[in-house]
Amino acid sequence: MAVIISTGFILFDFFLIFLAAFIGIFVHYKHSYQYWKKKEVPYLEPTFPYGNNLYLFPLASTFAGESKVWYDQLKAKGHKFGGVWSYSRKVLVLVDPGYIKDILSLDFNHFIDRDVYCNEKHDPMGTHLFNIRHSSWKALRQKLTPTFTSGKMKMMFDNVLHCADFMINHLEKCANVGDDFDAREVLASFTTDVIGSVAFGVDCNSFDSTHAEFRRQGKYLFEIDLPILLKAVMVNSFPDLSRKLGVIVFRSKSKAFFAGMIKETMEFRKKNNINRPDFLQLLLKMNEEYKDGKPNVTFDEIVANTILFFIAGFDTSSTVMTFSCYELARNPEIQERTRQEIENVLGKYDGKITYEAIQEMTYLQQVMNESMRLFPPLICLARTCTKDYKLRDTDITIEKGTPVVISTFGLGRDAEHFPDPERFDPDRFSAEEIEKRDPYIHIPFGEGPRNCIGLRFGLMQSKIGLIRILTNFKLSISPKTKMPVTIDQQRFLLKENNPIYLRAEKI
């Protein structure tokens, strides 16, 4: 009897603790939900406990598809900016390109940090140029900038061109037997081969299942399981507490794989005096250069930023190419016009694809820009206010620690900026049309001091991939593709909900 009573008291105690916690959270939320109203900022009405989020358990550790919903709702109400809540976190959403320019460029010193989780203390190999915080980013950016000059792009050009051979051979096999192909899978395999070559110094054929370890690692990085999901919720809702608790989001097994690969390559090159024209070689040289008794770039920095280059290089570029191919397959007249330009330009260079030749392919660039307008590789850009900031032409002060969100997805599909926004029309990005628009409307790779450092490399490999495909094949949509194509709004990096299958016909 005493045991039963004791157990009852224990359960009752747990109930009281749970009730107290729930009441505490509810009071916290209720107080938080008055925040934007008190500051006289236009806002969207929140709902407990989501706030204005779309999902209770988001897959992304930062903002994703909900940012477009917020943008559209605030735009419909005629607001240039507005407040929302991500659960209980106060978030400012920008709609007007003038304010976007302020935050990304003119007043950048108030918004140095990206709103992406980073744990410098407990996870140095997970701290890279994309997520590093405070003043540390500038020194790291200065170290890495020389690796992305035009000269370095030319140096890596032939490596990228060679990697496209595996993709073309695979597509030829598909064309010969009449098989459809999964556009993302094929293009991600190509970009994985490219990054494997220029970032890790490894010749890998991801189209050969016996040599596809890099492709398997690329897929593994984006797999969602329960531990990753719970960590995403934790760092999204309580980033400061997560840092104090030492929460690490990046998979340790992946870090160990890449760190081991880099260490092995470094040792092999030093021992055999090998010098390759690639990204890793440039970092190795920096590692051997000392400043104030320390290497210019540490081993941890090499690992972290090579992993970043791997993720950004294979995923964002494959996204650009996937949707460019998809839209070209849907619009055969645009596809033919693009192919004609490619052939005309290559004719000036004896049929050879060169770095100079791809710079002349202006319509191809327009096709890619229009694809990124509709399907931006990064669904949104997010910054954190690092010191109190007064919003221009208002009496509103954005407090330190407040996330500020810009929906690239929303901007690209805004009918005010792009009439008939669902229509694919590369002429929107002719020189004349670009001149008419505010430059902060189309920002798929960000803008300002923290824009994408690898932008030119990403565009280079995407152009090479598209040129090789279009000079060898005519593309069409497979009946297997579920139309219309929809986007997974839970992911920070843009991804379709269902595979996009295409058909390649040999020219």
Spell out the long-range contacts of 52-57 with Cβ–Cβ below 8 A and sequence spacing 24 or more: 52/84, 52/85, 52/86, 52/91, 53/85, 53/86, 53/87, 54/489, 54/490, 55/490, 57/229, 57/232, 57/233
Known binding residues for heme: 452
Spans of the chain below 70 pLDDT: 1-31, 57-61, 210-212, 218, 221-222, 224
**For the chain, percent of residues with pLDDT exceeding 70:** 91
Distance in angstroms (rounded) separating the CA atoms of residues 57 and 213? 30
Give the separation between CA 452 and CA 364, rounded to whole angstroms: 21
Could you give the C-alpha distances from 337 to 375, 435, 469, in angstroms and in order?
21, 23, 14
Residue 222 is predicted with a pLDDT of: 67
Q: Report the alpha-carbon distance of residue 125 to residue 253 in Å, rounded.
A: 12
Other C-beta atoms lying within 10 Å of the C-beta of residue 359: 13
Classified as helix, coil or strand, 397 is: strand
Q: What is the pLDDT of residue 65?
A: 85
Task: Give residue limits of the domains in the chain.
Answer: 33-506
Pairing of strands 403-407, 89-94: parallel
Q: State how beta strands 403-407 and 380-384 pair.
A: antiparallel
Count of CA atoms in the C-beta half-sphere (13 A) of 222: 17
Q: Using DSSP bridges, classify how beta strands 473-477 and 501-506 pair: parallel, antiparallel or unpaired.
A: antiparallel
Q: In 33-145, where does DSSP find H-type helix?
A: 35-38, 66-76, 97-101, 136-144
Pair 503, 475: CB distance under 8 Å = yes
CATH class of 33-506: mainly alpha
Q: Tell me, what's the pLDDT at 392?
A: 95
pLDDT of residue 13: 42
Instruction: Output the known binding site.
Output: 452
**Global pTM?**
0.88
- Sign (positive or negative) of CA dihedral 102, 108, 113, 116: positive
* pLDDT, position 261: 83
* pLDDT recorded at residue 16: 38
Query: What string of DSSP letters covers 285-351?
Result: HHHH-EETTEESS-HHHHHHHHHHHHHHHHHHHHHHHHHHHHHHHH-HHHHHHHHHHHHHHHHHTTT
